[in-house]
Amino acid sequence: MKSKKMSSAHVDFPSGGSPSAKEDHVEKWKNFQLKAVQSLQQLPSVLQQKLDLDNMSGTMKRNLKIAGIVVAVLLVILLVLPLLINVNSFRPKIESEVSNAVGRPVTLGDLSLSIITGMVKVNDISIADDPSFSKSPFFTSKSVKVGVKLLPLIFSKQLNVTEIVVDEPQITLLSNAKGKWNFSNIGGTSTKEPPAPERSGSAPPQNFSVAKLEIKDGRMTVGKANAQAKAQVYDNLNVEVTDFSFKSQFPFELVADLPGGGNATISGKAGPINPQDAANTPMDAVVKVDTLNLAASGFVDPASGLGGQLNFDGAINSDGNQAKATGLLTCDKLKLSPKGSPAPKKITVKYAVNSDLKERSVTIAQGDVSIGKAVARLSGALQTQGETQMLNLKLSAPDMPVDELEAMLPALGVVLPTGSQLQGGTLSTELAISGTVDKPVITGPVRLANTKLAGFDLGSKLGALSAFTGRTAASRDTSIQNASLNARVAPEGTRLDAINVTIPTIGIITGAGSIGATGALDFRMVADLQGGAAGGLVQRAGRGGGNGVAFSIQGTTSDPKFVPDVKSIAGSAASGAVQNAVSGKTGSSAGGSLRKRKP
Instruction: Return d(Cα 220, Cα 386) in angstroms, integer.
Output: 23
- Write out the H or E segment, with its range, that includes residue 581: helix 566-582
CA angle, residues 433, 438, 442, in degrees to nearest 5: 20
DSSP tag of 22: H
- Average pLDDT of the residues in 105-126: 82
In percent, how much of the chain has pLDDT > 90?
Answer: 39
List the single range of 57-61, 189-193, 314-318, 390-394 with lowest mean pLDDT.
189-193
Which tops the pLDDT comparison, 119 or 442? 442
Q: Is the peptide bond before 445 cis (omega within 30 degrees of 0)?
A: no
Give the pLDDT confidence of 1-26 residue by residue, as tens digits: 444 444 444 444 444 444 454 455 54
List, in sequence order, every beta strand (DSSP E) within 281-337. Answer: 283-293, 306-318, 322-336
Q: Which amino acid is at 544?
A: G
DSSP letter assigned to residue 556:
B
Which is more confidently placed, 28 or 363? 363
Query: What's residue 519's pLDDT?
Result: 80
Whether the pLDDT of residue 444 is over 60: the answer is yes
Strand residues in 108-157 grouped as ranges (E): 111-114, 119-127, 139-148
Mean pLDDT of 511-527: 90
What pLDDT does residue 409 have? Answer: 85
Q: Is the pLDDT of residue 531 over 90?
A: no
| pLDDT band for position 193 (cuts 50, 70, 90) | very low
Across the chain, mean pLDDT equals: 78
Gap between the Cα atoms of 237 and 253, Å rounded: 11
pLDDT of residue 295: 87
- Taking the C-alpha atoms of residue 356 and residue 373, their distance in angstroms, rounded to an integer, is 33
Give the pLDDT band (50/70/90) at residue 588: very low
**Does the pLDDT of residue 80 top 60, yes or no?**
no
Q: What is the pLDDT of residue 512?
A: 96
pLDDT for 582 beyond 50: no
Banded pLDDT at 286 (limits 50, 70, 90): very high
Confidence band (pLDDT; 50, 70, 90) for 301? confident
3-state secondary structure 374-427: EEEEEEEEEEEECCEEEEEEEEEEEEEEHHHHHHHCHHHCCCCCCCCEEECCEE
Residue 556 has pLDDT above 80, yes or no: yes
CA distances from 161 to 150, 249, 528 (A): 10, 19, 86
CA distances from 249 to 81, 146, 163, 243, 268 (A): 37, 22, 17, 8, 10
Comparing CA positions, the residue from 477, 509, 511 lying closest to residue 497 is 511
Range 517-537 average pLDDT: 74
**Taking Cα atoms as reference points, which of 424, 427, 422 lies closest to residue 445?**
427
Ramachandran angles phi, psi of 276, nearest 5°: -85, -35
- Grade residue 190 by pLDDT with cuts at 50, 70 and 90: very low
Residue 551: other Cβ atoms inside 10 A: 24
Give residue 111's pLDDT.
Answer: 84
Instruction: Give the model's pLDDT for residue 326.
Output: 97
Q: What CA–CA distances, in Å, run from 567 to 288, 329, 407, 564, 592?
A: 63, 55, 40, 9, 17
- 52-61, 253-262, 582-591 — most confident range: 253-262
Q: Looking at residue 13, what is its pLDDT? A: 41
CA distance 83 to 234: 40
How far is the C-alpha of 557 from the C-alpha of 414, rounded, in Å?
8
Confidence of residue 122 (pLDDT cuts 50, 70, 90): confident
Reported as a pLDDT band with limits 50, 70 and 90, residue 491 is confident
Comparing C-alpha atoms, which of 531, 538, 534, 550 is closest to residue 577?
A: 538
Question: What is the mean predicted confidence (pLDDT) over 104-122?
Answer: 81
Inter-residue contact 403 to 424 (CB < 8 Å): yes
Residue 196 has pLDDT above 80, yes or no: no
Residue 460 CA neighbour count, 13 Å, CB half: 8
CA distance 148 to 10: 9
Residue 26 half-sphere exposure toward CB, CA atoms < 13 A: 6
Which pLDDT belongs to residue 328? 97
- Judge whether residue 381 has pLDDT over 70: yes
Q: What's the pLDDT at 128?
A: 94
- Which of 145, 187, 148 lies closest to 8, judged by CA? 148
What pLDDT sits at residue 449? 95
pLDDT digits (tens, 9 = 90+) for 384-405: 887 788 999 999 999 999 999 9
pLDDT beyond 90 at 488: yes
Whether residue 292 has pLDDT greater than 70: yes
Task: Between 341 and 286, name the one with better pLDDT.
Answer: 286
Q: Residue 20 pairs with which residues in a beta bridge?
A: none
Contact 576, 543 (CB under 8 A): yes
Q: Which of 490, 521, 528 is nearest to 506 (CA)?
A: 528
The pLDDT score that the predictor gives to residue 198 is 43
Q: How large a percentage of the chain has pLDDT more than 70?
A: 68
Confidence (pLDDT) at 194: 45
Phi and psi angles of residue 48, each rounded to the nearest 5 degrees, phi first: -60, -40
DSSP secondary-structure letter at 34?
H
pLDDT per position as a tens digit, 227-240: 777 889 999 999 99
> What is the model's pLDDT at position 3?
42
- What pLDDT was estimated at residue 480? 92
Flag whether pLDDT at 283 surpasses 80: yes
Find the angle CA(518)-CA(423)-CA(444) to the nearest 5 degrees: 55
Would you say residue 331 has pLDDT above 70?
yes
* 8 A C-beta contact, residue 372 and residue 345: yes
Q: Which residue has the higher pLDDT, 154 or 484?
A: 484
Is the distance from CB of 324 to CB of 316 less than 8 angstroms?
yes
The 8-class DSSP code of residue 205 comes to G
Confidence tier at 103 by pLDDT (50, 70, 90): confident
Among 290-299, 337-346, 495-504, 563-572, which is the least confidently predicted range? 563-572
Across the range 160-189, mean pLDDT stands at 86
- pLDDT value for 590: 40
pTM of the model: 0.72
* Domain parsing of the chain, residue ranges: 1-9+87-194+203-281, 18-83, 303-442, 457-596
